[in-house]
Structure 1
Amino acid sequence: MTEPWSAGTPQVVHLPSGRTLRGRGLRHDLPEGQTPTFVVHLTDHEPPGPPWESVWVPWRDFWLPADPVDALRKLRIAYERAESDRVELCCGGGIGRTGTALSVICVFEGMDPQEAVTWVRKNYHSRAVEVPWQRRFIRQAFAAGAADPGRA
């Protein structure tokens, strides 16, 4: 098991299950201190590989993942890894796509879509989930049974 994110690490959210994840905008410098052990890049172009394990979800700014099923699969991996690894979700600014991904992960925690968005806005960033179709993606994750690991 990896040492968890340190208390007070900026942009780290503590889910009700006890899992922790960090959201980040790639346009900002990597914060000092601990580095992630697993990263999900939510970007329109595949980023250069960081020195830690990572996956890429093709996702244009202000839009939806190019392949929603693949995105849910990779977010499920991040959710599962967050139990024992330092997981980071990141997009360009760290707000819309990252907030949407965090909201989907809250659905994995058993929250309904609206509760998930509200929770992420309160605990991560007040402007998370920027456009209506991102909310729709969260609802689709919920409808697909995302809270049930056997269905997402």
Structure 2
Amino acid sequence: MTELWNADGPGLVELPSGRRLRGRGLRHELPAGQTPTFTVHLTDHEPPSPPWESVWVRWRDFWLPADPVDAMHRLRDAYERAPGERVEVCCGGGIGRTGTALSAICVFEGMDPGEAVRWVRRNYHARAVEVPWQRRFVRRVHAAGAEGTGRA
């Protein structure tokens, strides 16, 4: 089994289930210490491949994923991997898209969409989920049954 995230790492959130995920902005240096074993990149252009496993979700800054259903699947995969891996979710600044993704992951935890956004703002970044349509995406994840299998 992989050594999991240390509890005090930068950008780290611990969900009520105990799963730990790291949110990060790609414009910032990779934090010293542990590196991810799996990353979900939320960017408009395909990022360079890191030396660990990663996936790319095409997602423009201040917008929504180009393919919401694919995004839900990839975020669900990140959620499922978190108990045994060091999972990271990142976008350019590490706030809007990353916060939206973390909020969607909180829906997988069983939170309702509003609670998920509030939780991420309280535990990750106060400005997470920056625009109304990103909050709507979190609601769509919930409406899809939080399984990422429905049409968004």
| TM-score, length of structure 1 as denominator length | 0.97
Unaligned runs of 5+ in 1: none
Residue number in structure 2 paired with 1:37: 37
Match of 2:125, SS state, is coil
Match of 2:5, SS state, is coil
Match of 2:70, SS state, is helix
1:18-37 aligned at under 5 Å gives the runs 18-37=18-37
Residue number in structure 2 paired with 1:100: 100
- 1:119 matched to 2:119: yes
Residue identity matched to 1:28 = H
Residue identity matched to 1:118 = R
- 1:67 matched to 2:62: no
| TM-score, length of structure 2 as denominator length | 0.97
Deviation at residue 112 of structure 1 after TM alignment: 0.2
The total of aligned residue pairs comes to: 150
Deviation at residue 151 of structure 1 after TM alignment: 4.4
Deviations 1:30-77 (A, max 9, x none): 000000000000000000100000000000000000000000000000
- In 2, the alpha carbon distance for the partners of 1:143 and 1:31 equals 35
- In 1, the alpha carbon distance for the partners of 2:44 and 2:34 equals 26
- In 2, the alpha carbon distance for the partners of 1:63 and 1:4 equals 31
- In 2, the alpha carbon distance for the partners of 1:140 and 1:150 equals 9
Match of 2:104, SS state, is helix
Residue number in structure 1 paired with 2:12: 12
Residue number in structure 1 paired with 2:109: 109
What is the root-mean-square deviation in Å for CA atoms of aligned residues? 1.0
Match of 1:24, SS state, is strand
Deviation at residue 7 of structure 1 after TM alignment: 2.1
* 2:73–2:148 contact (8 Å) kept in structure 1: no
- 1:134 matched to 2:139: no
Match of 1:138, SS state, is helix
Match of 2:13, SS state, is strand
* 2:41–2:90 contact (8 Å) kept in structure 1: yes
